[in-house]
Every structure is written in structure tokens, then in C-alpha cells.
Amino acid sequence: MIGSHPQKGKISMRRWVALAAAALLAVSVTPGTATAQAAPPHPLQAIKKQLHSGHGVRLAELSWVTIKKERVTVLRSFSDLQLSPRGVVGYDLSVKLEPLEDEGPAYDALVSANMLDQVQITHAGGATYMIGDFDSRPLPTGKSWIRLTTPLPDMYTNQSVDLFNPRIRTALLRGKTGKAVSGGGRLYQGVVTSARLEKLRTGKTIKDKSKVLWRLWTDAKGLPLRLRSTYFLDLEFLKAEVSTETRFRDWGVPMVITPPPASQVVNESELPPFTFELPADLLKATS
């Protein structure tokens, strides 16, 4: 064993080179080594194999806004996704805004407006339910969940590059071979315009030349491990970067998303119209 020999400090550079060359040669001719392994499955095929009923995947996301090279706010979310051959058919999502500074007038204004409280959203059976103080409308006694009038079937991620949207997934990954990375996976990357993503997502045409840079890391099975996208916002009054990083885990885990108990649900149509305005204290603190 090299390193247990008392004369290890006298091993010449020439011998180190010889040992390294021998090790490389042994790897290159040994059957079943990494150099002889085939490339992992393509993520298009790997994801498709996961789209069967009663199973799903878990997501952990972190989104942040960068202005003048400084992060100014963070949005953290966790979601369980129920998959099917059609894609995502149900999800449980918890999301929370986390300012990077926990003091000062701006933070106090966010607290007083309940904007830092955790919000939970469940989508099941084609309906979307929400609980949390972000919606400050008073609820009837015994009711804690609001069944939204307009369902939000794709609220499970904050990613503009939604890999569970088949049109986006196919458009961005088709024909890409990726680059080998440690662990047997691959790295895929590209650039797409916001207008292109909106067209793929909704079929609508918008005038938006801003670009989205994305990177996807997969494991040895071709399944997504990590996805990072950065949206470059370039307006007359504001230049910023909006980034989201998603971590995927537990692919194939048994997953059935159920709606909250009916006794705890009130229909949004029974409540006053939802209105949202930034608190005056917050506007004053950030002006």
C-alpha cells in the first residue's frame, strides 16, 4: 500500500507517473468499467416511463431575485406530485416567502401584512384548494380551505422551464445529447426566450424578447436530479435576474393526492372578491 512505506517521501516523480499510467491502463482494459458503460437513458424516455398512475415525485425549490448582483428575496417551496400518463394530475404544495433581511421597516411591513406566512395549495380531482393567511378574506367558522373558482393545475412549480409540460420538455430536450458528469449522469443546457416558453405552455403569442438560461442534471437512469433556470428581466426601470433551482427526489414513490375534508372547505364564490394591494408601509419602506 503506497503511503504505509516509510520511504514514501523518496518516491520519484518518474515512478508516480508510471504508477498513474498503469492505473489508467488497468481501468481502460477492465470490462465493466465506466469507460465501457453506455450512456444513460435520455431524459425524454426516462421521464415518460415515470408517467403512470398512483406514483409520483417530490420537488424542493428555491427561487430568488438578484438585483445589481445582490439577492433581495427568496421563495422556498416543497411539493408532492401525483403523475399519470397525462402528466401531473395532483399536487400538494407549501410555499413561503423568506426575505434575506429579517429586520427593518420593509420586513415589519411584510409581517404585518401576513405575507411571510406559509401558504398551502392542494390540487386534486381537477379542483384547487388553498389555505394560508396570504388570502386574508374572512372564512366561515370551521372552514380553513378555499376551493378556488379557477383551478390551478400547474401551480406545482415556480419553474418557467416546466419539465412536466410535454411540449416544453420535448422542445428543449429533443436532439440534445448532454455532457457526462460525475455519478454517471449528464448535464443538458440551453437558452430559450420567454415568448417561446409561453407559446409552448399556452399557445399564446407574446412580445417578450427576454431569455431564460437553463441547466438540467440527470442521474445514471436519465431522471432529473436538479434543474436551474434564470430569467433575465430587462425593463426601463428595473434590470434583474429571477432564478429557480429545483431538486427532484423519490421518483416513482407511491403517490395519491386527495382533497381536504369537505367539512373544512368553502367555495371561493361564497367569499368577497379577492383583492391584493401591496401594503402602504411596504411601499414606503422600499421607496
Mind listing the pLDDT tens digit for each residue in 177-196? 999 999 999 999 999 999 99
Average confidence (pLDDT) over 205-227? 94
Letter for the amino acid at 269? Answer: S
User: What's the confidence (pLDDT) of residue 3?
Assistant: 42
* More confident call, 19 vs 235: 235
- Domains by residue range for the chain, with CATH: 43-286 (2.50.20)
Which grid cell is 216? 438540467
pLDDT of residue 284: 46
Q: How many CA atoms lie within 13 A of 120 on its CB side?
A: 9
Q: In this model, does residue 241 exceed pLDDT 60? A: yes
The pLDDT, as a whole number, for residue 37 is: 55
Give mean pLDDT, residues 95-105: 64
Q: What is the largest CA-CA distance in the chain?
A: 84
The answer on pLDDT for 18 being more than 80 is no
Q: Please say if the pLDDT value at position 21 is more than 60.
A: no
pLDDT tops 90 at residue 96: no
Q: How confident is the model at residue 285 (pLDDT cuts 50, 70, 90)?
A: very low
Look at residues 169, 158, 168, 171 and name the one whose alpha carbon lies nearest to residue 222.
Answer: 169
DSSP secondary structure of 64-91: EEEETTEEEEEEEEEEEEEEETTEEEEE
Question: What is the C-alpha separation between 85 and 70, in angstroms, rounded?
Answer: 41
Residue identified by cell 426601470 is 237
Instruction: Name the nearest CA neighbour of 258 among 95, 85, 126.
Output: 126
First-to-final CA distance of the chain = 66
Q: Output 22 or 69, whichever has higher pLDDT.
A: 69
Segment among 19-23, 162-166, 230-234 with least mean pLDDT: 19-23
Asked if the model's pLDDT at residue 84 lies above 80, the reply is: yes
pLDDT of residue 137: 76
Q: What pLDDT, in 10s, does the model give residues 27-81?
A: 333 333 444 456 789 999 999 999 999 999 999 999 988 888 887 778 899 999 9
Burial of residue 205 (number of CB atoms within 10 Å: 0-12, 13-18, 19+) = exposed
The pLDDT of 150-167, averaged and rounded, is 95
100 or 127: whose pLDDT is higher? 127
Instruction: List Cα–Cα distances, 144 to 91, 103, 117, in angstroms.
Output: 18, 30, 15
Please say whether the beta carbons of 119 and 132 come within 8 A.
Answer: yes
d(CA 188, CA 177): 7
Helix (H, G, I), strand (E, B) or coil at 182: helix
Q: CA 282, CA 287: separation in Å to the nearest integer?
A: 8
pLDDT at residue 252 tops 60? yes
Q: What mean pLDDT is reported for the chain? A: 80
**Residue showing cell 417530490:** 58
pLDDT higher at 30 or 199: 199
**pLDDT score of 7 more than 70:** no
- Give the residue-averaged pLDDT of 115-139: 82
